[in-house]
Amino acid sequence: METDVLSCEGIYKNIHRKPIIKGISFNIKQGEILGFIGPNGAGKTTTIKLIIGLQKLSKGTIKINGFNVEDNFEKAIEKVGTIVENPDLYMYLSGYDNLKLVSNLYKGITKSRIDEVVKLVGLENRIKDKVSKYSLGMRQRLGIAQAILHKPNLLILDEPTNGLDPEGMKQVRELIAKLAKEEKMAVMISSHNLAEIENVCNKICILQNGEIVEQSNLEDIKKEVSKGEYVVEVDNPQKVKEILNCEIQGEKALIKATRDEIPEIISKLVKNNIRLYSVTENISSLEEAFLKKTGGNKIE
């Protein structure tokens, strides 16, 4: 059985006696990518600051690789890489010199390790250029390179695609997936960009008013709030509408039915000489699931 890389149990945070985080519990295992989402003010950034020791817990337990953050902070944080908001970079230095400076903060970071990380984040061709000449996406990848120099097994990213263009988002998304799969990192991502979360995460934790309202794997959450619809692509949608009294969108029919009813529906359509090209379940998006779980609160 895999042990948790990060384990948060019943954690609370009060500020001026006001509860900000209210007894939340969640965990991340090796290779998992957790999307940590919620409306503004839900407590996402506060939770991250509690995990990495920038704020003190009011109550509860946070363990990283089995080490209690409050009792044994140095050992707990030893294998953690993080970017909270924007990465700290020296714009007038090259990407490589930025990495060399960060490497001085850790023991045993060799030139070969720096080269390995540069290749991992895909900056081999530009690493000797000044950071001021980098695109936002390249700077974000360099920031991730800094965060993983010391071979952490937990990577925490706060808004990693904020401000990036579609190409930059794609590059960062692919890098995160690569780190989880090839480097076996546990990754925690806090983001307002639900489309990006949906594209990269396999586990979701929804926070609202300092409490967790849902946590599960991504597909289960989406299926739970799905509309019970199936999309059937056919050659004669109007005839399907006459037979089943369903909604039509172009060449597709939206049929409300249970999974067990679908074979009978298909048989009925075939008997009426309707050609079927595909039948797929109309699963809700993460945004739809988020809005339902939070009662309509939007991420702004």
Answer yes or no: are the C-beta atoms of 160 and 104 closer than 8 Å: no
Which carries the bigger pLDDT value, residue 254 or residue 74?
Answer: 74
Say what the alpha-carbon torsion angle 187, 189, 193, 198 is, to the nearest 10 degrees: 40
Alpha carbon dihedral 187, 146, 45, 191, in 10-degree steps, equals -60
pLDDT at res. 23: 95
Report DSSP state, residue 101.
Answer: H
DSSP-assigned letter for residue 110? -
State the residue for tokens 């939340």: 24
Q: Is residue 247 in some structural domain?
A: yes
CATH code assigned at 276: 3.30.70
What does the block give as tokens for 233? 């692509």
Where a domain ends, among 223, 249, 271? 223
151 in the Ramachandran plot: left (φ > 0), alpha (ψ -120 to 50) or beta? left
Looking at the fold, whether 197 and 245 belong to one and the same domain comes out as no
Same domain (yes/no): 74, 162: yes
Least-confidence region, from 85-94, 97-106, 164-173, 276-285: 276-285
59-78, pLDDT tens digit by residue?
999 999 999 999 999 999 99
Q: Residue 300 has what pLDDT?
A: 43
Same domain (yes/no): 219, 235: no
The DSSP 8-state label assigned to residue 40 in this structure reads T
Does 99 fall in a domain? no
Residue 24 lies in a domain: yes
Residues 6+ apart with CB under 8 A from 92: 130, 131, 132
Domain residue limits at 267:
227-282
Query: Domain check: are 65 and 160 in the same one?
Result: yes
Are 219 and 240 found together in one domain?
no
Tens digits of residue pLDDT in 119-144: 989 999 999 999 999 998 899 999 99
- Residue 113: pLDDT above 60? yes
SS3 (DSSP) at 122: coil
Choose one of 208, 223, 238: the last residue of a domain.
223
Statement to judge: residues 165 and 276 lie in one domain: no
Nearest to 166 by CA among 206, 211, 196: 196
Q: What is the full DSSP assignment across 128-172?
A: TSBGGGS-HHHHHHHHHHHHHTT--SEEEEESTTTT--HHHHHHH
- Residues 238, 194 share a domain: no
CATH number at residue 171: 3.40.50.300
- The residue from 223, 238, 255 where one domain ends is 223
Q: Do the domain assignments include residue 115? A: no
List of residues 6+ apart from 67 with CB closer than 8 A: 75, 76
Helix, strand, or coil here: 268?
Answer: helix
Is residue 289 domain-resident?
A: no
What total of structural domains would you count in the chain? 2
Q: What is the pLDDT of residue 203?
A: 92
Q: Say whether both 206 and 167 belong to one domain.
A: yes
**215 plus 237 within the same structural domain:** no
Q: Quick check: is 250 in a domain?
A: yes
189 shares a domain with 208: yes
* Helix, strand, coil shares, percent, the chain, to 5: 35, 30, 35
- For 264-285, what is each residue's pLDDT tens digit? 888 888 888 888 888 877 666 6
Residue 239 inside a domain? The answer is yes
Identify whether residues 42 and 72 lie together within a single domain: yes
Q: Say if residue 266 is in the same domain as residue 165.
A: no
Let me know if residue 95 belongs to a domain: no
What is the band of 299 on the pLDDT scale with cuts at 50, 70, 90? Answer: very low
pLDDT at 142: 94
